[in-house]
A and B are shown apart, each in its own frame.
Chain A
Amino acid sequence: MASVLLLIAASGLVAAVAQVVLIRELLVVFDGNELMLGLFFATWLFWVAVGSLLGGLVSRRAGLRPLQVMLAASGVLAVCQVLMVRTLRQWLGFEFGQILPAGQAVLAASAALAPLCLLVGAQFAVACRVAAPLSADAARRVYVAEGAGFALGGVLAAFVAAPHLSSVQAAVALALVASIASWAGASVGGGRIVPHWSALLAALIAAFAALGGPARLETGSLRRLWRPLSVVDCVNSPHGNIVAASRAGQISFYVSGKYVASAGDALAAEQTAHLCLLQHPRPRTALLIGGTASGIIPHMLSHHLRRLVYVELDARLIALVRRHSRDEFTGFSDPRVEAVFADARQWCRQSSQQFDLILVSVPEPATVLLTRFYTLEFFQQARRLLTPAGVLVVSLPAHADYFSEEDLALQGTVYRTLKAVFPNVLVTPTSQRFFFASAGNGISLDPNELFHRFQERRVAAQHFHPYLLYDLLPPDRVGRVQDALRQIRAPLTTDFAPVACFRAQRLWNLAAASIPPSAMRWLDDHPWQAMVGLLSLFAVPGLAGSARRGRRLALLGGLAAFGMAGMVVEVALLLAFQVIWGHVYAHLGLIVAAFMLGMVAGGVIPGVKRGLVEKAWASWAAVLGIAAAYLLILPHAIRVPPTPVGALWFYALVSSAGLITGLAYPVGVALLPGETGGLAYGADLLGACLGALVAGAFLLPVSGVAQSLHALAGLFAALAAFWLIRPS
């Protein structure tokens, strides 16, 4: 039994680290918005579920040896699949720089993830089958061991692999760990170290690493991934993969595969700087959030600022930009410039400084992390930091001459949210829409007025001429944009209902031609109907008839509901953490570990073991009821202050979510006659797969955290009532 538990724990660890490494690689190849992220996680969970179901079917006479082989193979596969992801674009016939539709991304992600995921899923089913004769509650123990391995893997991925290792290095390390664990699995049973093929494999991998193989693989595969650009620098940070690549003497910077800026090319940045700085009649201090790599700082300073504070999340990005750009381009060395490397939301909350201008230069709100800079709460924070005539600037990509439905929806929600905080909001009719918000009366889109301010300040511009203001701000277009946005009815974007995130994805979808735009529009307009449809998928089988087969279906439906709810709760907790404490990266490992430890605790509660035998049906109903109660109170409980006590409370909530999930699985399995664990695990994962797909991309942004969790609470309450009313 110890061998099985060791092997499955190692499998959990491999799965956790490989998941982080591979999805990070996929985000470099494909777009990293919430929809794609959800699709990648869903693809991962789907194939693990299929692996588990298939493993349960084919492992009738499984022994320890297949487990050892699968574990060692999964380590080697992790290396192969990292290399495969880096060649996906060529395989699909897409050139560098081109966005791929979601459908093709899923197919490509399936091809890249399926082999490893199938193995991971099958290992669980095989482990349950091997352990079944050895223990009365084998499935529970295997579940707990895998969870513990996954928790450890999550911590290692967050604190070691992501910030310090390249993807190939991390995958090779995994291959080494997997082969050593496979060897240890063979040795633990007999209590002595035995010669084994996996030991030879481990030795080979170690030798490969010692001879510099991973570095060569990394360089070769990166060159292939970035062709026709030449990679001149590549670093990993906790926030993503950062690359400097050159073409025709120009060095361009990329973060997680997304183009950020090119060294020495500050044309757009200069225009932005002047257009924004001119909004304040006499700016002296400015806060810049993001966008420093674009070379905007010198042009902001040219308006005679006395002090400029810039806040960047990733110090490694700035270090890389510094290495490859001249000082005159970056402006980092100017004595008036103060650098802060922190999460800007967190910094804004704590800061008591006052600014004449706050320029938010972050990409469009395509993820919940980025949407934090477009919410009501952030705008309120920004207003607190502004002087009475201070100006807040946010921007969105648009079209200078046309408003699509999707543009209107996104710009409408940002405009209305700004209007809820600032009495004066003006929007430019430019291809990058600038939203100027102020409590004072200084902002203006009158080109004559701005021309006058520019001349008065004697700004030393490089490529900007004040005449351009007449091209950028023709009065008829200015009026048309304000009219269109004033008339639109749109919900406010808040921290816990970041609707702008979904609307930015609608815009991305329009370009990527992935999902029919009308379908996305329907989801946006009918969130409740969509929610009812989603919950019905679980409620219908979950409330299936009283016949034996119906009850089996009902249990599997219930387990799938737990999987889905677990994923939604996890995303909601991550969102809450970001809102309360800022970026989540440094704590991601701890949050995952807290969740998994809660799950392990749920699985090992002694009372549960007894309950499985004596009052299984009542236990199942009770677990459903506890889940309903938890989901009901969670939206209120997560609004904690950013204090140490608040953090303790938050981690307790995370562990509680894991604990309830951990309680549900063994109880559910105990009620399934003849089930060793693979089928139940598959149902759980399929639910989680759907949860991953909808949670961050649609459910939480459009319906909001409170409404989504309350709706889920309703589902669990109905399921609990069903089991209480109709016991076996």
Chain B
Amino acid sequence: MSESRARLTRREFMARACAAGASVCLGPGMSLPSLASASGWREASWYRRLPGKRVHCVLCPCNPFMRQCGVLSDGQTCYCRVRTNVGGRLYVTNYARACTINVDPVEKSPLYHVLPGAKALAIAAPGCNLACKCCQNWKMSQAGVEETRNFYAPPQEIVRRAKEAKCQAIAYTYTEPVIYYEYLLDTARLARKNGMRNFVSTGGYITTDPLAELCNYVDAFSVSVKGFTEDFYLKYCRGHLQTVLQTLKAIRAAGVWLEIPVLIIPTLSDDMDRIRWFCSWVRENLGPDVPLHFTRFTPEYQLRDLPTTPVQTLESARSAAMKEGIRFAYIGNVPGHDANNTFCPSCKKLIIQRVGFRIYSNKAPGGTCSYCKARLPGIWS
């Protein structure tokens, strides 16, 4: 299917949405859910029906900072912008509405211990359940379906494109994959059937049961941590740090590969004591083999007037992580930096050299160090 033909125009979307909305006016003779389905919406998989045509979405932890979250009245849309209560049923409006589809190296996710140099078909649908003021993808994540330019791309289409582009995996990334959970899950099942892997880059704001189901189909998670205090998450992300930490533990407990990008924002999350605390938390709760990526902040979205993170701060954070016992600590968003590379924790030699998101040299084929034969944790084949 060509992109121009597959793309759902705003006019079409509005027409379909209006059709669903109009049913409210047309009275009891019309079936609201059937109209919502006609508009291309998909019924959500994680919610409870409540009396009075209310619903309780249980996909994400209820966000106490947002008025429209958790329990939704008829006609209300959750603050993630893509889950709407239509006549007492919860519908997902961004199912199969991809706002971007690209072929990316897996290193972009960032996943440094997963199939180095492999290609993944990266997709995203609009919306997010956090409101991070530092978001790099805010034009897609802080908008609903009607505010973004989308393509109609059902799971079959995604898998077909991935095969066509000779991708080894599908990466659910850019925005928050949790809020296109149903789309993700259907695509992931189909991808797995077709011998492809699934990688998810997320903010980790999800409840336990949906996460457990997701873990059955996902091969690797990249869960970004944006700060180290509840206060930071409350002020700058409208969320809870504790929930993210629980997600990290659950993923690790499920045995799914995990890497953690850690954004270091000058003045907001560059306190070395907090960074040390987080590293020690990772070592104790997740183990020393979970790679940390200390990522450089560049002025973006609503934090445009903060300076970029000094490379020296990132180096200090990395060094603190190593001292706390983390075996793989990287520096991200600084192309050409030595800490973009993987060093063998055993013989300390450079084994995977990266330039940007490309693999320049790999001395650990199959995840074994060519020099000392030590096994590296991760997914290597």
Interface residues of A (CB under 8 A from B): 31, 95-99, 228-229, 247-250, 252, 254, 257-259, 262, 265, 267-268, 271, 399, 401-408, 462-465, 467-468, 470-472, 474, 476-477, 510-512, 517
Contact = CB atoms under 8 A, between A and B. Distances in A.
B287 interface: no
A97 B355 contact: no
B176 to A, nearest CB: 14
A512 B133 CA distance: 10
Contacts of A250: 266, 307, 310, 312-313
A265 B148 contact: no
B139 A510 contact: yes
B242 interface: no
Contacts of A511: 138, 301-302, 304
B312 A248 contact: yes
Interface in B290-348: 298-299, 301-308, 310-313, 334-337
Contacts of A474: 103
Interface in B143-162: 143, 147-149
B31 interface: no
Given A99-B304, A463-B335, A465-B336, A401 B100 contact: yes
Interface in B111-147: 122, 124, 133, 137-140, 143, 147
Contact of A254 (B102, B174, B305): B305
B304 A467 contact: no
B307 A463 contact: no
B308 A262 contact: yes
Contacts of B302: 98-99, 511-512
A95 B235 contact: yes
A684 B133 CA distance: 41
B308 A265 contact: yes
Nearest to A476: B103
Given A404-B149, A471-B358, 11 more contacts: A96-B306, A97-B305, A247-B270, A250-B313, A262-B310, A265-B308, A467-B355, A467-B358, A471-B356, A476-B103, A477-B102
B296 to A, nearest CB: 8
Nearest to B173: A401
Given A96-B267, A249-B310, A259 B304 contact: yes
Contacts of A247: 266-267, 270, 307, 310
Contact of A228 (B105, B140, B267, B313): B267
A5 to B, nearest CB: 45
Contacts of B143: 404
A476 B161 CA distance: 13
Interface of B: 99-100, 102-103, 105, 122, 124, 133, 137-140, 143, 147-149, 174, 235, 266-268, 270, 298-299, 301-308, 310-313, 334-337, 355-358, 360
A586 to B, nearest CB: 27
Contact of A249 (B137, B299, B312): B312
Per DSSP, chain B at the interface is loop
A468 B137 contact: no
A401 B335 contact: no
A258 B149 CA distance: 30
Nearest to A258: B305
11 contacts: A96-B267, A249-B310, A257-B305, A262-B307, A265-B310, A268-B308, A271-B335, A401-B100, A468-B335, A468-B355, A511-B302
Closest 4 A/B residue pairs (Cβ): A97-B306, A252-B307, A467-B355, A250-B310
A259 B299 contact: yes
B137 A399 contact: yes
B151 to A, nearest CB: 11
B266 A248 contact: yes
A129 B359 CA distance: 80
Contact of B335 (A249, A259, A267, A405): A267
Nearest to B272: A248
B139 to A, nearest CB: 4
Contacts of A402: 99-100, 137, 139-140, 149, 174
A517 B147 CA distance: 9
A87 B305 CA distance: 17
B120 to A, nearest CB: 13
A31 B304 CA distance: 10
Nearest to A253: B307
A408 B305 CA distance: 24
Contacts of B310: 247-250, 262, 265
B49 to A, nearest CB: 32
Contacts of B337: 463
Contacts of A262: 307-308, 310
Contacts of B306: 96-97, 259
Given A228-B267, A463-B334, A471-B357, A404 B305 contact: no
B356 A467 contact: yes
A259 B235 contact: no
B265 to A, nearest CB: 9
Contact of A401 (B105, B149, B174, B357): B174
Given A403-B149, A465-B355, A467-B358, A267 B307 contact: no
Given A248-B310, A262-B307, A467-B355, A405 B301 contact: no
Contact of A465 (B137, B334, B356): B356
Nearest to A404: B139
B303 A98 contact: yes
Residue picked from A248, A252, A464, A472, most chain B C-beta under 10 Å: A248
A464 B267 CA distance: 28
B308 to A, nearest CB: 6
B324 to A, nearest CB: 20
B148 A404 contact: yes
B103 A464 contact: no
A465 B338 CA distance: 13
A228 B298 CA distance: 18
A512 B138 CA distance: 11
A523 to B, nearest CB: 17
A465 B149 CA distance: 34
A517 B100 CA distance: 21
Contacts of B268: 95
Interface centre among B266, B301, B312 (most CB of A within 10 A): B266
Contacts of A258: 305
A617 to B, nearest CB: 52
Contact of B298 (A252, A268, A517): A268
A268 B309 CA distance: 12
B305 A96 contact: yes
A399 B139 contact: yes
Contacts of B147: 517
A407 B266 contact: no
B139 A407 contact: yes
B305 A265 contact: no
Given A252-B307, A405-B149, A465-B335, A97 B102 contact: no
A335 B266 CA distance: 36
A254 B102 CA distance: 36
A250 B360 CA distance: 31
Contacts of B335: 267, 271, 463-465, 468
Contacts of B312: 248-250
A517 B149 CA distance: 14
Contacts of B100: 401-402
B305 A99 contact: yes
Given A265-B311, A401-B100, A470 B305 contact: no
A468 B356 contact: yes
